[in-house]
Structures are given as C-alpha cells and as structure tokens.
Amino acid sequence: MRIILLRHGETDWNQERRLQGRQDIKLNEKGLSQAKVVGGYLAETYGSRISSIITSPLNRAVTTAGIVADALSFPKEQIVIEPLFVERDFGSAEGMSYEQTSINFKSGRYPGMENLEELCLRARKAVAKYTEDPFAEQTILVVAHGAIIKGVLTQASGGTVHYHDSDIWIENVSFCMLSGPKEAARKDSNLPYDIGHWHISLHNASVGFVGRQLGK
C-alpha cells in the first residue's frame, strides 16, 4: 500500500506567514496554479493507480483535492471528506504571524491549542481508518495540512521522525509517501490505533518532487 500525504496549495496567509490552523482560508492564485502543477505530476507518475482521494474538510484542502482529481480524471463526487485530517487547532495563535506568536507565546504553547499527544492520536486514528489491510495493492491520496501530516510522520516512522525536526519542512503542494509497511501493527500493542512502521519519503515541490528518505 502507498499513502500520498499532500499538503494543500498556497493561501494568502501562507504567503503572509500567518498561522492558519482551523481557519478556513481559501487558496490564492498561486495556490490554484500549484495545485494544477502537482496534479499533473501525480497524474503522470501514478495515474490510475490512485484509487481513493481523501481530503480535510477545510476549503484550501478541498479545492486542492478537486483540482488534482481533475488532473487524474478522478470523479469529484467520490472524494471523501475526512474530519480526522483537519489541521491542528492552534487556539489563540490562529491569525497571528509567526513572529507575533514567538513574541506573545515564548513557550511555544498557545492557549486552546490541540496538544501534541492529541494530534498524534488523531493522526494514528486517521491512518488506521483507511489501512485495514496495509499490504493491499493500492495507492491512496490524502490532501491535508502541514501539522497533521507531520503528526502522521511522527507516528508512522517508528520513532525515527519527530514532529519538531527542524529539517523537515513540508511546503505547499509537497507530499510525503508512506509505503510498506516495514512492520505491521502489533496485535498485542497497547498503543491505541497502532499503525506500524512505514517507509517514508518526502517530495518537496521546490526541488521538482525529487524524493528523499526520512528516518531509517
């Protein structure tokens, strides 16, 4: 099985370096263009092998998913809206610039934000919901957001990728590929929604989607 975790196209708040979280900000013109580019790339590279498209309910993700679906000749009415893939709730910091958050919240914790444990539990639950048979021959495309994608990577890497790793930056319309898994979820695991350990590669748009392996 392959899971393609695609970040949505650019919004004005991305361009202004403002924290979006659950705020429903639309794609700007650059974001619409980016979605067409990555859609073309995915169509050429994976084409009909993409059997499902799942998206966060936020407009910027839904719009990106629709544009990519057009490129893949995938029926838009079959796109699945999945609330589990919504962006992390950043509480009181939403709408602020990154510079403002560093001044106002020096601890990096924002009042009302979804904590990391909650995010990672949600990430595992989301992946587990669509990977009942992780060894099935299928490719799933998920259109989501930077924080929830990093939450998935943290959980799917077997501990070798961490949410706060400074060298992992998922740009707009970049994607991570989960393939495998290397190790299936253990039936005796005490971890709720254990998803096992996957091969992971990051494909950043700025380098032409050339993949680099993450973790070990």
Question: Could you give the C-alpha distances from 104 to 7, 21, 111, 135, in angstroms and in order?
Answer: 27, 17, 11, 46
Q: Say whether 82 is catalytic.
A: no
Which secondary-structure segment (H or E) carries 3?
Answer: strand 2-7
Q: Quick check: 161 and 198 in contact, CB under 8 A?
A: no
DSSP, collapsed to helix, strand or coil, labels residue 104 as helix
- Size of the chain, expressed as the number of residues it contains: 216
Question: What values do phi and psi take at 34, rounded to 5?
Answer: -60, -40
Which of 82, 87, 94, 114 does the annotation list as catalytic? 87
**Alpha-carbon span 195 to 112, nearest angstrom:** 28
Q: Clarify whether 8 is annotated catalytic.
A: yes
Query: 147 has which bridge partners?
Result: none
Is the distance from CB of 193 to CB of 124 less than 8 angstroms? Answer: yes
Q: Are strands 80-81 and 50-55 parallel, antiparallel or unpaired?
A: parallel
Catalytic annotation, residues = 8, 87
